[in-house]
Amino acid sequence: MSDEAERRRPPTAQQFVLTELRRAITTGELRPGDPIRQDALAARLDVSRVPLREALKTLEAEGLVVHHVHRGYFVAELSLADLEEIYRIRRLLETEAVRTAFARLPDGLTGTLERIQEEVERAAGAGDVTAMAEANRRFHFTLIEASGMPRLVRLIGTLWDATDAYRALYYAEDPHRERAVHEHRAVVSAVGEGDEETAVRWLDQHRDHAVAALRRVLSGS
C-alpha cells in the first residue's frame, strides 16, 4: 500500500476498502464488467476478507457491483437502456430539486458553487478524473441540496451511485472535461442571476451530452 493511501486511510478497515474500491471504479481502474478478485485485492490493501466482503455488500446495495453465484463480484454493467432510464429519471428529479432551490436561494449558494467550480477546473486541467468526479458531484449536490428536500436528495444520490463507473469513462476524454467546465460556468452564472429557466436548460444539456457520449462508448463507435 502506498504512503498516499496510508495517509488517506479512513478509521476503519471497511471504510478504507470502500473508499479504495470507489476510487478504482470512478477512475476507470476497474471498468464495468471487470471481476473483483478478492484475494488479490485484500493482499494489496493489506486487509482481511471480512471488511472487503462488507464493503462489497455496500457497493452491491448501491448498484455499483453485482454478485454472481460461483463466480464472485464484478463491477456492474449497465445497458444503454439502463443508462438512458437512469438519466431520464435524474432529469425529472433534479429539475424538481433545482426549481425548489431557486425558490429558496440560500445565501451564499453562488459563492459556494464558484469555489467548487474552481476545484472542478483544476482537476479538469490536470486530467485528474478522480478529483474531477468528486468535485463535480459536490457541485451538483450543493445545488440539489439547496432544495431542502433530503429524501429527494437521497433518491438522486442513489441514481448517481449507479452510474459512477460510467462517469469515469466520460471524464477520461479532454473534450468532455472541457464541455463540463463550460456547462458548469453557465449554471453558476444563471444561479448568480436568479435565472431558473437558464439553469435548468444548461443542466438538461449537461446530462444530454453525457448520455450521448456514453451511447457512443457502449455502441463501440
State the Cα–Cα distance between residues 66 and 60, nearest whole angstrom: 6
Report pLDDT digits (tens) over 117-145.
Answer: 999 999 999 999 888 989 999 999 999 99
State the Cα–Cα distance between residues 158 and 177, nearest whole angstrom: 23
- Report the SS3 class of residue 55: helix
CA 97, chain centre distance (Å): 18
pTM score above 0.75:
yes
Q: What is the pLDDT of residue 8?
A: 54
Task: Classify the C-alpha dihedral 191-150-205-200 as positive or negative.
Answer: negative
Question: If we measure between CA atoms, which residue out of 203, 126, 217 comes closest to residue 165?
Answer: 217
Cell numbers found for residue 151: 429524501
State the Cα–Cα distance between residues 157 and 31, nearest whole angstrom: 20
State the Cα–Cα distance between residues 27 and 165, nearest whole angstrom: 8
Q: Do the Cβ atoms of 75 and 64 come closer than 8 Å?
A: yes
State the Cα–Cα distance between residues 111 and 124, nearest whole angstrom: 20
Q: What average pLDDT score do residues 97-109 get? A: 96
- Least confident stretch, 77-86, 87-96, 202-211: 77-86
Report pLDDT digits (tens) over 170-198.
Answer: 888 899 999 999 999 999 999 999 999 99
Q: What is the pLDDT of residue 11?
A: 67
